[in-house]
Structure 1
Amino acid sequence: MGDRVFLKVSPTEGIMGFDKKGKLTLRYTGPFKILERVGAVAYRLVLPLDLSSSHLVFHVFMLRKYNLNPSHMICYEEIHLGDDLSYEEVPVQILDIQVKQLRTKDVALVKGL
């Protein structure tokens, strides 16, 4: 109790083509404070109001320990999570659009910021 943890989130499938892809996508959000231990492998967290629609009890595989460092400043970027802890990435600006022609079809390539 009292420790801080990161909460695992996952992007919505098919929408992660605009920002960072693959290994560089956002995987954890937080840190959040542990309120109490519920059972052997579940913890109740203190979540902000924008995540209040989500369930407050999470299994340990959804959590990652955060080692508190006073010099570490975290800029908490507000993301809107769904009920299944997924989020949608939207582009800020489209930089370039190209159409690549394959043998049987055309593929649109979009470079976003």
Structure 2
Amino acid sequence: MEYVRAFLAGGLLCAIVQLIIDRGKWTPAGVAGSLVVFGVLLGFGGVYDPFVAWAGAGATMPLCGFGYWLAKGAMVEPRPEGFVETGAAVFRFAGALFAFIVAGSFAAALTCKPKG
């Protein structure tokens, strides 16, 4: 059942985003940036936590989940002082996610042919 909830939640988030891109006047880059900021705001507000507990990877893998993990990284570290220490706390918490993104992007660049 966990897989079904993750599929439904992630699919619903992606469908909503696709509708925003198709029907709205937003660019894909604007929507992507907004999703990360939206995830950070919901993560700091504690609103995204119950959704993550219910949906699992369906809530954490889209871009709003990326923003959620960035917010969690800043909240978990015991009182970082200053901008640099706050950034370090975020990267310590979400470092594995960044490594996965970079490795996956590199593998996709090696295996996919660009249109041209």
Which entry has the higher C-alpha Rg, 1 or 2? Answer: 1
Both proteins in one fold, TM over 0.5: no
TM-score by length of 2: 0.24
Q: Which has the higher strand share?
A: 1
TM-score by length of 1: 0.24
Larger relative contact order (C-alpha < 8 A, sep ≥ 6)? 1
